[in-house]
Structure 1
Amino acid sequence: MFRPLLTASFIALSAPGFADTFTGEAVIDTVTIYPGLAEISRLITLDLPAGSHDIIVPGLPQTLATEGLRLSAPQSVQVGAISLSRDRLPVTPDQTTPAVQAAKDEVTRLEEALRQRDVTIEEIRLRVLAAEEQIAFLQSLSQASAGDTLSAGAVADIRALAQMVGEETLAVRQAAFTAEQEALAAMRAREDDVTALNDARQALAALIAPETEGSVLTFTVNTAAPGEVVIDVSTLESYANWSPVYDMRLTTGDTAALDIDRAVVVSQQTGQDWLNVNLILSTARPGEQIAPSDVWAPLRRIISEEELAREQQQVMLADQVMTRSFAGGVSEMAMEAPAPAIVAQADFSGATVTYRYPGRVDIRNGVDDLRLPLDQLSLEADIWAEAVPSRDDIAYRVAEFTNTTDEILLPGQALLFADGTMIGFSHLPLLAAGADQKMGFGPLDGLRLTRSTPRKSEGETGVFSSANQLTEQAQMTVENLTGRDWRVLLRDAVPYSEQDDLEVELNASPAVTQRNPDGQRGILEWDLNVGAGETAEIGFDYTLTWPTGYVLQ
């Protein structure tokens, strides 16, 4: 069986003949980021004579894949064989950039400065050591001389000797003290030298990847005429992403409005720094599903009641055998996998938006989360309060708005503000053009809620039951202490039935505005207008009735 010559590290388009070899640097010029994927355009600029040439481009990321590798050249230049090597890299000349070389030179300079500092400290320590030895010598000399002088009886000579030794010892001790202070100052300065050297090494590490990593691109070109040639190397690379972040500022005055400050956070771990690049952000999602899902038709069959009974009996016997085999444990028999779930996939074909960020940016590999401002949107908003007295004791501010732009609003984290006050964090889901969205904008402490139920003499709370009937009563209030009028959408719930024989009767005052909103069975809604300083009261009861001989569950 023949194996293809095209592998992850080699693409052969044609065999080169005798040619000169040139080494070029691929400089990242433009990056287009999709969610989870980046298209990177690198430019190689060479001054080539006419004829056929081998081009070597070192320093590319280790994870570069040939599937998304494309080369384009001017019309007068023909690109031939292309090879991408990873493990056994070809020998290439030093292609150190000026920035990297400057960082290396700074590291070398600081290493030498630290070495010289250590030499200076050792020299100072030697002076201290010499002073200590001088003091020891003077002390031994004075003891020997004093003994000779005492035996001779010359008191004046003893006094002169003591004075000389004292003066010399003081001078030596002063020199030792000065040297010790110089050593301490040098040690403090050495700490600054170490810090500067570590910073320089980190700066160098941020500019270069380990020399043992990376890949090398080699290809052949044939130029019709001598001159400068610019070759565009385009690659698709993973581990790059951008996501929107939103500051959503709600104004609840006479004219309600929602201002959305949009920004983006860009990060990448492609294995190479992006320095001084043009940045393009796209809402297209090439890494996601591109075709509709499959559907499966259900297989239905009929079976006689006798055969069904036999199958059920066989199942029971099998269960008994399994229980005996795994008594006291959990069965490890594999269960049949369910059919794949049919999930609806959103498709916004034709609605792709591209943002080209002005100016050039730097995004370092694996260390930068770059936040860039995008634009501001101004949308109209409908604002009200929502209250659930059965669960909460205050109401919450809610705003509904429509995406009136001509583009998709991608999902992202949102920081919420209401009338200039920060409320908290939320998440804006994917919002198509023209779609509506409802979001909570924090608590309204001035809208107080209560829910109570009457008590029977037996102590039961709000529930009255008989053999085939059950009744529950509830009383709710909304007290407005905010100083302004509020539209309040109040919600509660009652049981619901899917059986004709189990009836549910509801009485409410005021009347329920909407029952089962959006198909939510058993949910009740009251749409109220509660003025400043006013209190709204809602009372309701429901009764469940069922035939005698049945039990309510």
Structure 2
Amino acid sequence: MKLTYYGMIVQHTGEDWIDAPLVLSTAQPSLGGSIPELGTQIAKLYKPPPLAPVPHPGLRLMALGGHNLQLNSVTAVGPEDVGFGLSAESLSYAETTPTQNTAGDTILSTTFVIARPATIPSDSSEHKVTVTSMEMKPTTIHETVPAKNTNVFLTASVLNPSQFILLPGQANVYLNNSFIAKSDIKGVSPNERFFSSLGVDAAVKVEYKPAHEFSEQVGLLSKSSSTVHEQRIVIKNTKNEQVLITVKEHVPKSTDEKIKIKLISPELDQKMANRVDSMKKGELPTPGARLNSAHNLEWTVALEPNSETELLVKWSVEYPNGESVEYVEQF
């Protein structure tokens, strides 16, 4: 895997820079997102919204002084995004190669000295310069969030072996010199592991079957209602190699003592309890089921070549009789 680190330069000073030595400095780098994320799904008792008052026909709302009230729309304009682009090219494996460009740190920023002089015309257009290029050996991971997208995303786990800080920015991903996807790279320090989306792997397929729910009344003295939710997820590996895939699925979280939620299937791996959000910490996933810090299920399975498996996610919610429960996703 080859990573080429670029800087985008725009200048409108009225003077063209001819064969100018360049030093890039961090200044408000942009952030972004990639593969779908799951927020925390909160279960709470449903309360119908209050009815809106019905205006009396023929009445017109007037302000003091006889002026009509008018609602003006306001448009918010944010600053133009800036940042550095990354390009991951081909999945060939090699050792890290040294570069002539240098990077330096100050208390508030990082600077990058560009090895070759560049010509940047004063035309307010973006001009790309190469900060550095390095060879990396990635470990590939498969992930899917079938409740939102049944595609399986191929993710590369890579260690940054260079002296360069990788700033947050967008990456163009190429496989065999063909563009396949765009990805977002978060800030990465030297010798820190990071993850980059390599696009969709069509050789691994996911079927998200319709959910089943059934309700019953429980309790002898204080009657309450219980609803069981079943979700079946079929994963098929058509590749000629084993695939390690992590499925992310909602398990609602209750913030109301009147609502009790129990995960029935799968059985959580207690050894994984201290490894929640392992990928955010730069750790590779291992087979097993766990709840992450957002109370979402992360179920990692190893799928043999040309095989398929069915996962059953099952949970129950108990709540006061006569009430109803709504689910709200929060980020």
Would you say same fold, with TM above 0.5? yes
Deviation at 1:386?
A: 0.6
1:520 maps to: 294
Name which structure has the greater RCO, CA cutoff 8 Å, separation 6+.
Answer: 2
Q: Quick one: distance in 1 between partners of 2:125 and 2:215?
A: 66
Q: CA 1:542 to 1:432, structure 2 compared with 1: closer, same or farther past 3 Å?
A: same
2:312 equivalent to 1:542: no
Match of 1:451 among 208, 215, 228: 208
1:506 maps to: 263
Q: 1:67-78 residue pairs with structure 2 within 5 A? A: none
Q: 1:364-403 residue pairs with structure 2 within 5 A? A: 364-366=121-123, 369-403=126-160
Match of 2:214 among 447, 452, 464: 464
Q: Quick one: distance in 1 between partners of 2:108 and 2:161?
A: 17
CA contact (8 A) 1:476 1:538 kept: yes
Please give the secondary structure, in 2, of the residue aligned with 1:393: strand
More strand by percentage: 2
Please give the secondary structure, in 2, of the residue aligned with 1:433: coil
Q: Quick one: distance in 1 between partners of 2:182 and 2:324?
A: 47
Q: 1:344-423 residue pairs with structure 2 within 5 A? A: 349=107, 352-358=110-116, 360-366=117-123, 369-418=126-175, 420-423=177-180
2:53 maps to: none
1:153 maps to: none
Q: CA 1:505 to 1:429, structure 2 compared with 1: closer, same or farther past 3 Å?
A: closer
Please give the secondary structure, in 2, of the residue aligned with 1:408: coil
Q: Quick one: distance in 2 between partners of 1:282 and 1:415?
A: 21
Q: CA 1:326 to 1:381, structure 2 compared with 1: closer, same or farther past 3 Å?
A: farther
Q: Quick one: distance in 2 between partners of 1:349 and 1:369?
A: 28
Please give the secondary structure, in 1, of the residue aligned with 2:136: strand
CA contact (8 A) 1:352 1:407 kept: no
CA contact (8 A) 1:265 1:369 kept: yes
Q: What is the identity, as a one-letter code, of the residue corresponding to 1:349?
A: I
Render the CA deviation track for 1:313-357: whole Å, top value 9, x for unaligned: xxxxxxxxxx97559x8687xxxxxxxxxxxxxx96276333143
Q: Quick one: distance in 2 between partners of 1:485 and 1:400?
A: 17
Q: Quick one: distance in 2 between partners of 1:330 and 1:439?
A: 51
Q: CA 1:330 to 1:448, structure 2 compared with 1: closer, same or farther past 3 Å?
A: farther
Q: Quick one: distance in 1 between partners of 2:248 and 2:26?
A: 40
Q: Quick one: distance in 2 between partners of 1:368 and 1:547?
A: 62
2:250 maps to: 493
How many residues are matched?
236
Q: Quick one: distance in 2 between partners of 1:435 and 1:364?
A: 36
Q: CA 1:474 to 1:263, structure 2 compared with 1: closer, same or farther past 3 Å?
A: closer
Q: 1:181-196 residue pairs with structure 2 within 5 A? A: none
Q: Quick one: distance in 1 between partners of 2:61 and 2:266?
A: 61
1:199 maps to: none
Q: CA 1:545 to 1:376, structure 2 compared with 1: closer, same or farther past 3 Å?
A: same
Q: CA 1:551 to 1:479, structure 2 compared with 1: closer, same or farther past 3 Å?
A: closer
Render the CA deviation track for 1:404-463: whole Å, top value 9, x for unaligned: 32332233432202355431223334333344432211111111111224xxxxxxx611
Deviation at 1:509?
A: 4.3
Q: 1:202-281 residue pairs with structure 2 within 5 A? A: 258-275=1-18, 277-281=19-23
Identity %: 16
Deviation at 1:530?
A: 0.4
1:482 maps to: 239
Please give the secondary structure, in 1, of the residue aligned with 2:21: strand
Q: Quick one: distance in 2 between partners of 1:405 and 1:465?
A: 57
Deviation at 1:545?
A: 0.9
Q: Quick one: distance in 1 between partners of 2:195 and 2:158?
A: 7
CA contact (8 A) 2:185 2:195 kept: no
Render the CA deviation track for 1:153-183: whole Å, top value 9, x for unaligned: xxxxxxxxxxxxxxxxxxxxxxxxxxxxxxx
Deviation at 1:487?
A: 0.4
2:197 equivalent to 1:440: yes
Q: 1:72-221 residue pairs with structure 2 within 5 A? A: none
Render the CA deviation track for 1:490-525: whole Å, top value 9, x for unaligned: 1111222112231111111475634431x212x111
Q: CA 1:534 to 1:279, structure 2 compared with 1: closer, same or farther past 3 Å?
A: same
Q: Tell me the TM-score normalised to structure 2 length.
A: 0.61
Higher Cα Rg, which structure: 1
Q: Quick one: distance in 1 between partners of 2:176 and 2:119?
A: 36
Q: What is the identity, as a one-letter code, of the residue corresponding to 2:7?
A: V
Q: CA 1:427 to 1:493, structure 2 compared with 1: closer, same or farther past 3 Å?
A: closer
CA contact (8 A) 1:462 1:473 kept: yes
CA contact (8 A) 1:508 1:538 kept: no
Q: Tell me the TM-score normalised to structure 1 length.
A: 0.38
Q: What is the identity, as a one-letter code, of the residue corresponding to 1:273?
A: D
Q: Quick one: distance in 2 between partners of 1:423 and 1:444?
A: 10
Q: What is the identity, as a one-letter code, of the residue corresponding to 1:478?
A: I
State the superposition RMSD in angstroms.
3.3
Q: Quick one: distance in 2 between partners of 1:490 and 1:348?
A: 41
Render the CA deviation track for 1:99-143: whole Å, top value 9, x for unaligned: xxxxxxxxxxxxxxxxxxxxxxxxxxxxxxxxxxxxxxxxxxxxx
More helix by percentage: 1
